[in-house]
Every structure is written in structure tokens, then in C-alpha cells.
Amino acid sequence: MCLQVAPNIKKYITWFKDDKLKIEFSHEPKWATLQYPPNATKEQIEDIDEKPYINLKDLWVKITYKGLVSYFFIPRGYRWNGANIPGVAWYIIGTPDDPKFRLASMIHDWLCEHHEDARNDRYLSSLIFASLLAVAGVEKYKQFLMFHSVDNFQKVFGKDLKGNRWQ
């Protein structure tokens, strides 16, 4: 849930800042790639394949956009699938498991599932995604392609966990 009131965190780490947007975290984000347990069942394999990444520590995110500050929380244990990159685009953009895409995909997937945490602003969620790609060192042309791909996909198909479209 997006909050307008600050949680009790003394200092945030500034991850990205420009003239429009500032992204801060309560601590350095930590995640892992899930592994199949020995003798994994078909269901366990399918579950891990569907969402192979896991957030390892509760994370508060502070967003300042156009002078407005808001906060949201991504809980420890949150799982996501990483970057959705069609196989045909792997040669140009890279593969979905590229570590440079990991943090951006976690934050963006959370925002796509919880529109209210991005103030129901699809463009803001896409801007956050592209900004985090930039911090990770993703090349500018890939940032451009990935930003427009996710933004246009969300424009047409984007629904949160409640089935609501972006406003």
C-alpha cells in the first residue's frame, strides 16, 4: 500500500536521482535465485520456473516524483519472474536472467501488481523501471527499448492483482 507518511526509517539510500525522479531504499536490496530442491516434484519445479527470484529482506521504497513523496513496502519472500523478454529480442536486449535487469524487474513487477504503490501512474512505474536499469549499467538503447516495451504492454494489457487496469 502506498503511503504518504514516512515509515520510521532514519536514513534512506539514494539509488537514483534526476530532476524529476528520486528513488531511495531503506537498505541495499537483496535477492536470490531459487534452486530446485533434491527430488523436486513437478509442482515445485513449475512453481520455481514461474517465479524464480525472491526478495530476501523487507524493503521500503521511497519515491519522489514531481515534488510528491510516497513510500511502499516490498516484503521479504516476495517472488517475481524477472524481465519478460521474448526470445526473438534476446540478441538485441539480452536474456531475461541478466543480473542487470533483476532489481528493475523486481520493483516494476511489484508496481504492476500493486498499481496504488505507483499512484496508479503507469508512466511512473515505467520510468522507475528505466531509471533502475540505468543505475545497473544497462546500455541506453536497451533502456529505451525496454522502457517503451513495458510501458506499451502495460498500456494495453496491464492489470494489478485485483484485476484493475491502470487509471
DSSP for the chain reads: --BSS--S-S--EEEEE-SSEEEEESS---EEE--PPTT--HHHHHHHHHS-EEE-S-EEEEEEETTEEEEEEE-TT-EE------GGGHHHH--TT-GGGHHHHHHHHHHHH-GGGGTT-HHHHHHHHHHHHHHTT--HHHHHHHHHHHHHHHHHH-B-TTSPBP-
Residues 155-159 have a mean pLDDT of: 90
Which of 103, 83, 105, 104 is CA-nearest to residue 94?
Answer: 83
Identify the pLDDT of residue 102: 96
Q: What digits encode the pLDDT tens for the residues 25-68?
A: 999 999 999 999 999 999 999 999 999 999 999 999 999 999 99
Separation CA 134–CA 151 (nearest Å): 16
**What are the domain boundaries of the chain?**
13-157
Q: Can you give the pTM of this predicted structure?
A: 0.92
Residues 69-88 have a mean pLDDT of: 93
Identify the pLDDT of residue 9: 85
Per-chain mean pLDDT for the chain: 93
Identify the pLDDT of residue 101: 97
